[in-house]
Structure 1
Amino acid sequence: MELVIVAAVLIVGWLLYKKVGPGKNVKTITSEEAKSKLKEPNVQFIDVRTKGEYKGQKVKQFKNMPLHELGKRANELDPNKEVVVLCQSGMRSAKACSELKRQGFTNVSNVRGGLNMWR
């Protein structure tokens, strides 16, 4: 019985990770690594938080592109350049990275911990 419960928990955990975790070939970077890229010309920075969250606290170089708009607005980004994605905690940005990968972007990085870890 305990083995069945453990197996069920593992399966549910794996399914949740597949649903909200970063997709294949999505890099996870620290806030320090993201900061080191801020002046690089071939890197695009997007913040997928809501407009209200963005107005309250933002990193100047990050363009606000809320997660719910990303599917329609991804064409504003250059698929040949790296995209660094930020949110508050790293969860929405992980979803955004997966969405960008599905749309053909090849160089996508998620900022681990989001603004909560921005120093």
Structure 2
Amino acid sequence: MSQTIINIILFLLLASFLASRFIPSRGVRMMTAAELKRRLKQPGVQYIDVRTSMEFRSFHLPGFRNIPLHELAARARELSKEKEVVVICQSGMRSQKASKLLKKMGFRYVTNVKGGLNAWQ
């Protein structure tokens, strides 16, 4: 009986961990690469690429500014909390983390590009 309870607790902890990693934060909008292509030149939007500087130099989308994920907390003051922030990375994982961080920091309009640059093709 106690082993069953332990297994249930472990399962719930694992499910909670996975949900926190893969489910977007409340208030974070998801956008496909196709939507991004239509909106890319929209004025008043802050486009942020959270890949490393080296990744950004090798290829980036025009209009995107590089703020690597590990620098985002320290450099968030460079962004307006009142304007939409569209976040991209290579696959969508780092941009999802960045989006959650920005929401926690009080940014009102945060959009994550689902699938990142891998989906851009």
- Matches of 2:59 and 2:4 in 1, distance apart? 46
- Matches of 1:78 and 1:3 in 2, distance apart? 48
Q: TM-score, normalised by structure 1?
A: 0.88
Q: TM-score, normalised by structure 2?
A: 0.87
Aligned-CA RMSD value: 2.0
Q: More displaced, 14-23 or 35-44?
A: 14-23
State whether residues 85 and 111 of structure 1, in contact with CA within 8 Å, keep that contact through their aligned partners in structure 2.
yes
Q: Which amino acid letter does the alignment assign opposite residue 51 of structure 1?
A: S
| Superposed CA offset, 1:16-48 (max 9, x none) | 331454311101110111122211111110000
2:56 is matched with: 54
**Unaligned runs of at least 5 residues, structure 2:** none
Q: Percent identity of the aligned residues?
A: 46
Do the aligned partners of residues 3 and 86 (structure 1) sit closer, same or farther apart at CA in structure 2, a change above 3 Å counting? same
State whether residues 37 and 43 of structure 1, in contact with CA within 8 Å, keep that contact through their aligned partners in structure 2.
no
Residue 83 of structure 2 is aligned to residue 81 of structure 1? yes
Q: Which amino acid letter does the alignment assign opposite residue 57 of structure 2?
A: K
Q: More displaced, 3-12 or 89-98?
A: 3-12
Q: Based on CA coordinates, which of the two structures has the bigger radius of gyration?
A: 2
Q: More displaced, 82-91 or 34-43?
A: 34-43
How many residues align? The count is 119
